[in-house]
């Protein structure tokens, strides 16, 4: 795999073993909330309404994460 990606073996394995970053953890929380909102609306809300719900809950993000997660839910 390291050869395919044109990186050193040690760099590849260091990347694989690295714990998730704070941003990745925060994104996972947002995705869980998006899925909860989507299920509560019987998957009728689009990204603008999901984004509005997130803002009401005090979760600040762009409209892009709700749009991508709504696609993943289907």
Question: 69 pLDDT band (50/70/90 cuts)?
Answer: low
Question: 53 pLDDT band (50/70/90 cuts)?
Answer: very high
CB burial of residue 69 (10 Å; 0-12, 13-18, 19+) = buried
Alpha helices in the chain (DSSP H): 2-5, 9-17, 22-40, 47-56, 64-73
- pTM > 0.85: yes or no: no
């Amino acid at each position: 795999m390291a050869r395919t990606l044109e990186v050193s073996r040690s760099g590849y394995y260091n990347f694989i073993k690295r714990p998730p970053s704070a941003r990745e953890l925060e994104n996972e929380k947002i995705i869980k909330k998006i899925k909860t909102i989507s299920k509560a609306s019987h998957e009728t809300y689009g990204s603008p309404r999901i984004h509005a719900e997130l803002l009401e809950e005090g979760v600040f993000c762009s409209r892009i994460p709700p749009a991508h997660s709504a696609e993943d839910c289907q």
